Structure 1
Amino acid sequence: MSQRPPKAPPRLPGALPLLGHIPDFGKNPHDFMMRLRAKLGDIAEFQMFHQDMVLMTGAEASEAFYRAPDEVLDQGPAYKLMTPIFGEGVVFDAPIQRKNEQLQMLMPALRDKPMRTYSEVIAGEVEQMTRAWGESGSLNLLDFTKELTIYTASHCLLGPEFRYELSAEFAAIYRDLEHSIQPIAYVFPNLPLPIFRRRDKARVKLHGLVAQIMEKRAQSSEKSTNVFQMLIDAHYEDGSKLSSHEITGMLTAAVFAGHHTSSGTAAWVLIELLRHPEELRRVVAELDALFGEDGPVTFESLRQMPRLENVIKEVLRLHPPLILLLRKVMQDFQVGEYVIPAGKFVCAAPAVTHRIPELFPDPERFDPDRYSPERGEDRNLYGWQAFGGGRHKCSGNAFALFQLKVIFSLLLRRYDFELVNPPESYRDDYTKMVVEPVSPCLVRYRRRETQAERTAATSSSVGTGSAGGHQIKVAVDWDLCKGHANCMTEAPEVFQVDDKGRLTVLDENPSPEWVEKLRAAEKYCPTRAIKVEDGETEGGRCPFH
């Protein structure tokens, strides 16, 4: 029996002359692509202006997309919008071999050894930005995370000149570059629009700054170890050195990798934790157990927080920062029963694949336990694809996770937060190609009490045990208690566990103000040894009494 000939992908009807499906796509790209997949399947064609686009979603189609060699699916022609930002002949505008050499030059700064030095830098930036907060207040979370991550990325990757000597100037330049990433730039990156004019002026300014610092460093006997210096010292396989133009573009690419996706993700991490208080309590308990009150954030400690890491993964599943990952088809490309002709563009959409129930059951639910060893819903490398996949997986993924862990290891130990507006009002802004929460996204903060303050408060409340006619009773089944100390993490005002795992109940009739923490201690006790009763003073007996 003869094999069936391959066929063209199914095509969405209704394309308008000149515009294609842009009006519908532009309203909400995510909703458009979700509907497109629901209607036509994993391989589906639509039109953006004059260009044919093929959406590839699901694990199998995504694997074909990510594993295809550059000679078949090329990033360069798909990302011409980055050429005015990075520069001609740099990264996506370079020939494939030259581009791969350039990207390889950035890798040493993102490997294990230099990463070990970044935790102190990032922690210092968090400390500096929160120093003026005071005891309590409110802020636009997205503004805060944007400012914080541009400081951390520039400090770690570019060096002290950009962070301290040129901080305000570099931030303004970077803002004009980043704001030029608009949907229309994918197709018409050089239209005479004001936003593109500001982009071009910013690129010229940045090149001038880089040239000045290169000259200054050449005259200095001190050698830096950041990515800037690595690029100054690097050379191509043919022995030639990088020009200041190329270094400018690659520095910009490095900061983009470390910042423009991390700022929105950082905001969403806190928002989702505040939407799900039980998950927040579990993360804070993990951090308190790992660091105590003032333990330093180190490279090794950052590898020991599975709860926070799973929360970050789930945030990236529901809110991946990039709407589309694009490639141009350079040679006819067969995927299953379909052939996509050379000249068309193909795209992956992580947020769409992340909502396929066969890959992620109950996909709209925020559920960090998906990534537990038992469930492992991120094992399929082409299912969970927040950082892309294959040979072009984002090289900054390790830095991004590292940066987020440091930030929240400090913020969540120092402050309590709450959402200012109703939880459902915080949503993704799909008018931008790098997805982030709609701004303003307001939160309140209050400094957490120190251990000394909690102890003083506990001492003053011993024996009070009742308020408004109610009393809290705490009991422990000593046969079940194994000294896990989860109770102490949740309610240190009431429970203390010594180095040998022996539990002491500081107050069997604690103040009702601790009831929420006591309920958490009861819930998270692995052996269920703790019982808490909150009832009328004359009410029933505690189950263990």
Structure 2
Amino acid sequence: MNTINSEKPASSDKAPPKMPGALPLIGHMLDFGKNPFNYMMKLRNTLGEIGEFRMFHQRMVLMTGPEANEAFFRAPDTQLDQSQAYKIMTPIFGKGVVFDAPPDKKDQQLKMLMPVLRDKPMRGYAQIIVAEVEQMVADWGDSGEIDLLEFMKELTIYTSSHCLLGNEFRYELNEEFAKIYHDLEKGVNPLAFVFPYLPLPVFRRRDKARARLQEMVTGIIAKRAQKTEKSEDAFQLLIDARYDDGSRLSPHEITGMLIGTIFAGHHTTAGTAAWTLLELARRPEHMQAVLSELDRLFGADGEVTFRSLREMPLLENVIKEVLRLHPPLIFLIRKVMQDFHFKDYTVKAGKYVCTSPRVSHRIEEIFPEPEKFDPERYTEARQEDAKPFSWIAFGGGKHKCTGNAFAMLQLKAIIAVLLRRYTFELTDAKDHYQDDFTQMVVQPVSPCRVRYRKRQTMCDTATQASEAGTAEKTPTGESFRIVIDRELCQGHATCMSEAPELFQVDDDGNLTVLQENPALDLLNKAKQAEKYCPTQAIKIQLK
């Protein structure tokens, strides 16, 4: 593994090169605001893997490429602070919640949510998501037309709230919650990076929605306290949670963390789900290949389950390629708290550094023909994403999105159910479907209309996602060793589900490797643990 040392090098102390063309007061904001991706690509092409630009009074340093990404993601919080960079979310999450909390408190809050993203509850989410999709298309009929993005937004708010928040938000408060969430989401405005409390209508609606949601949360807490049976959703986890000092979360804190949970699992997934169907509809050959994989796996009547969703290599590669070309978060930001060093350059404290998945995903040396939609990049034969920190759609390092496994499960379940029932066609010219860079979370430009038609034929050869069909052959050799990157491990406990003889994860998410020199007959289980680890924290090495 290539490790970048962010400590000061002995040789040089150069400042990153600066992008020309800054205007008085606003800097590069006009060019950046027109199309952030084009501007950042221009910066990389002009200055290389590191370069500085200015947004109003803030000095920003863009770092792109695997080495720069690794330095960015592996830097300690004391040096590159995530919280300081995302104060934009403070009015939405609330004062003292997540990014606005002191580091120790923030870590405790995030740990409180981890149990709903661990492997055991994840196995039950597949059925919930499948049922929600089936319900959404129940009255579609044989053909019709929809705004795909709006459909996905509605569907993913149902699936995310049902899986993570509980029945009250999904069924009892659904209509009002949807409106509140919409007003909160609109409050994530680029202006809020610099002026989060301007007296604008969009910010006033944001603040009113947050106050109303806290009223609703307080009411649900009181109702749940009267019940003898406890729910097992994120909401109940937060009600029961305790800080290290034994104190409970306040309704204000619970509200902010529930908002954060849905933000992480909704708007990014909605755009990616829409783009997945759009990219397949643009390319009939890829659409047919995915349909064939689904038909082979399920036949006419096979059940979509947690395990079958994991055995869809072609669909998974399609989704990865969609995330390469259309990552929802165009850039990730940290504030420099202590001088940060990368190669020969020093970024001074007080500036901001950012990395861009979208730019890094288009580096031709890593991804040849970067504008081409090519899901085969991720096959065993090519492995274009094998270089660490080259594919960063979910971020990287210890701050990698903890919900990435849930997002992939949700995406595969949605696409699998829809494509088993319907085929999709574009209603407009292919070039009409573009990314909307006016939004903080990049999604297809709206309206985003497609036609659907019920599938008339489906392979009825009921194939099974059997272990025989997917298990790997045991390689020859004497033994193997397990290497854990502790910085990447987030405690999902997937490894423990796959190989309980080798891994144990306690309630606090701490991983223990149970055998230092495992027998070779456990290699396949170890490889499964490596394959399905959401953060790629496990490496299996043959001796």
Normalised by the length of structure 2, the TM-score is 0.82
Partners of 1:61 and 1:498 in 2: how far apart?
A: 45
Q: 2:265 aligns with which of 258, 263, 274?
A: 258
Q: Is the 8 A contact 1:381 1:389 kept in 2?
A: no
The residue that corresponds to 1:427 in the other structure is 434
Please state whether the residue corresponding to 1:8 is helix, strand or coil: coil
Select 2:358's aligned residue among 346, 351, 365. Answer: 351
Q: Is the CA contact (8 Å cut-off) linking 2:297 and 2:463 kept in structure 1?
A: no
2:217 — aligned with what? 210
The question of whether the paired residues in 2 share the 8 Å contact of 1:77 and 1:92 is answered with yes
Matches of 1:254 and 1:3, distance apart in 2 = 43
State the secondary structure of the residue aligned to 1:13. coil
Query: In 1, Cα distance between the equivalents of 2:124 and 2:323?
Result: 25
Cα distance per residue 1:249-273 (max 9 Å; x no partner): 1111111111010000000000001
Residue 4 of structure 1 deviates from its aligned partner by: 3.7
> Following TM superposition, by how much is the alpha carbon of 1:193 offset from its aligned partner in structure 2, in angstroms?
0.8
Is the CA contact (8 Å cut-off) linking 1:293 and 1:450 kept in structure 2?
no
Quote the Cα distance in structure 2 between the aligned partners of 1:497 and 1:398: 27
Unmatched 5+ residue regions in structure 2?
1-8, 465-543
- What one-letter code is carried by the residue in structure 1 that aligns with 2:160? A
TM-superposed CA distance for 1:450, in Å, is 5.2
Q: How big is the shift at 1:3?
A: 5.7
2:147 equivalent to 1:137: no
SS of aligned partner of 2:86 = helix
1:69 CA displacement: 0.6
From 167, 170, 189, give the equivalent of 2:174.
Answer: 167
Q: In the TM superposition, what whole-angstrom CA distance separates every residue of 1:443-482 from its partner, at most 9, and x where no partner exists?
A: 000111256xxxxxxxxxxxxxxxxxxxxxxxxxxxxxxx
The one-letter amino acid paired with 1:17 is P
- Is the Cα–Cα contact under 8 Å of residues 299 and 463 in structure 2 kept in the other structure? no
The amino acid that maps onto 1:216 is K
8 Å Cα contact 2:164-2:234 kept in structure 1: yes
Partner of 1:408: 415
Name the CA distance, whole Å, in 1 between partners of 2:186 and 2:371: 30
Distance in 1 separating the partners of 2:185 and 2:149: 15
Correspondence 1:381 to 2:383: no
Match of 1:245 in 2: 252
Q: Which residue of 2 aligns with 1:72?
A: 79
Deviation sequence 1:336-367 (CA, Å, 0-9, x none): 10000000000010000000011111111100
User: What amino acid sits opposite 1:371 in the alignment?
Assistant: Y
Aligned position for 1:315: 322
What is the CA-CA distance between 1:375 and the residue it aligns to?
A: 1.1
Structure showing greater relative contact order (alpha-carbon pairs closer than 8 Å, 6 or more residues apart): 2
Cα separation, 1, equivalents of 2:352 and 2:10: 27
Residue 372 of structure 1 aligns with which residue? 379
Aligned to 1:109: 116
Cα deviation for residue 498 of structure 1 reads 11
Paired-residue identity, % = 64
Aligned partner of 2:397 among 385, 390, 409: 390
Aligned-pair CA distance for 1:172: 0.4
Contact 2:98–2:110 at 8 Å: present in 1 too? yes
Deviation at 1:294, TM superposition (A): 2.2
Corresponding residue for residue 277 of structure 2 = 270
Check whether the contact 2:297–2:462 (CA below 8 A) recurs between aligned residues. Answer: no
Provide the C-alpha distance between the structure 2 equivalents of 1:433 and 1:51, rounded to a whole number of angstroms. Answer: 18
- Paired residue secondary structure (2:202): helix
- Report whether the alignment pairs 1:437 with 2:478: no
Give the drift of 1:380.
2.2
Which residue matches 1:31?
38
**1: distance between equivalents of 2:215 and 2:347?**
43
Note if contact 1:286-1:307 (Cα within 8 Å) is conserved in structure 2: yes
Give the equivalent residue in structure 1 for 2:101.
94
One-letter code aligned to 1:356: I
CA contact (8 A) 1:426 1:438 kept: yes
Q: What does residue 480 of structure 2 align with?
A: none
CA distance in 1, matches of 2:78, 2:462: 61
Deviation sequence 1:285-306 (CA, Å, 0-9, x none): 1111111122211111111100
Determine whether 1:47 maps to 2:46.
Answer: no
In the alignment, what sits opposite 1:470?
Answer: none
Contact 1:416–1:445 (CA<8 Å) still a contact in 2?
yes
* AA aligned opposite 1:129: M
- Following the alignment from structure 1 to structure 2, what is the Cα–Cα distance between the partners of residues 380 and 394? 19
Whether contact under 8 Å (2:238, 2:249) holds in the other structure is yes
| TM-superposition CA deviations, 1:183-236 (whole Å, max 9, x none) | 111111111111011000000001000000001001101110011111111111
Distance in 2 of aligned mates of 1:3 and 1:200: 49
Counterparts of 1:408 and 1:498 in 2: how far apart (Å)? 19
SS of the residue corresponding to residue 376 of structure 1 reads coil
Contact 1:231 1:247 in 2 (8 A): yes
Report the alpha carbon displacement of residue 497 of structure 1 after superposing the two structures with TM. Answer: 10
Change (3 A) 1:256 1:3: closer
The one-letter code sitting in structure 1 at the alignment partner of 2:141 is G
Which whole-Å CA distance do the structure 1 matches of 2:463 and 2:136 have between them? 36
Q: Deviations over 1:289-346 (max 9, x none)?
A: 1111222111111111000000000000000000110100000000110000000000
Alignment of 1:169-248 (within 5 A): 169-248=176-255
Partner Cα distance (1:384, 1:257) in 2:
19
Secondary structure, in 3 states, of the residue corresponding to 1:377?
coil
Q: CA RMSD in A?
A: 1.5
Larger-Rg structure: 1
* 1:57 is the counterpart of 2:64: yes
Q: Distance in 1 between matches of 2:320 and 2:374?
A: 10
Instruction: List, as ranges, runs of 4+ consecutive aligned residues in structure 1 with deviation greater than 6 Å.
Output: 496-499
Q: Match of 2:14?
A: 7
| Per-residue deviation, 1:412 | 0.3
- Aligned counterparts of 2:18 and 2:356: Cα–Cα separation in 1: 17
Equivalent-residue separation in structure 2 for 1:198 and 1:315 (angstroms):
33
CA distance in 1 between counterparts of 2:68 and 2:415 reads 35
Give secondary structure in 2 for the equivalent of 1:300: helix
Are 2:299 and 2:462, in contact at CA under 8 Å, matched by a contact in 1?
no
In the TM superposition, what is the alpha-carbon distance from 1:124 to its structure 2 partner?
A: 1.1
Q: How many residues align?
A: 456
